[in-house]
Amino acid sequence: MGSEMSGKSMVRRELLDTRRLLSPEDVREASLVLARHALELPELATARTVAAYVSVGREPGTRALLDALRARGVRVLLPVLLDDNDLEWAVYEGPDRLVPARRGLTEPAGRLLGHKAVLEADTVLLPGLAVDERGMRLGRGGGSYDRVLARLEAAGARPALVVLLYANEVVARVPEEPHDHPVHAVVTPEGVRRFAARPTA
């Protein structure tokens, strides 16, 4: 496991270094194209509840997508990071109801719905740094979404799992650990790629 962890750390560092080269305009333009591609996904077109997140820094932008989903009448759940790195959820009520939070994050200001609110989601949009040709996702390493995915698995919930990335972040292979889960699709500014995700239960 140690070599896998060090391999993940190296890949994360390289990917984050590449993201730092993007200008704010690059990020803005990519976010609009990402939203357009994502909104065409059947998993989002038919979803009543979507668990998403607010992008920060040079992450592939989600704000245009959040607003478009909300305008469609979709119930959008956003995470709130707890002291132990686990996540609770609150409903997205618009950009004026987002507040700065710890670790540079932006979170919803509404009532917390608990850890299990994510079980109601038809689709879960996951942050990440890369996904490989098998659909394996590389996150930032905090473990928050590992807990979310484990919670979904334990409950027998089977939402569509989708990652938003830049095109260069779809790679041949990422380091994998036993607890890692494959995703169903990745959306980049170049389009959508689907994977035959392994069953999660």
Enumerate the known binding-site residues: 8-12, 54, 59, 137-145
Contact residues for 32 (Cβ-Cβ < 8 A; gap 6+) = 61, 64
What are the tokens at 20?
């730092």
- Residue numbers in the known binding site for ATP are 8-12, 137-145
Q: What is the DSSP letter of 199?
A: P
Count Cβ atoms within 10 A of the Cβ of residue 169 and give its class: 0-12 exposed, 13-18 middle, 19 or more buried. buried
49 vs 23, 88, 142, 199, CA distance in Å?
32, 15, 25, 21
Q: How many of the other CB atoms lie within 10 Å of CB of 19?
A: 18
Q: What is the DSSP letter of 113?
A: -
Are 108 and 88 spatial neighbours (Cβ–Cβ below 8 Å)? no
- Residue numbers in the known binding site for substrate are 54, 59
Between strands 75-81 and 87-91, the pairing is antiparallel
Contact residues for 42 (Cβ-Cβ < 8 A; gap 6+) = none
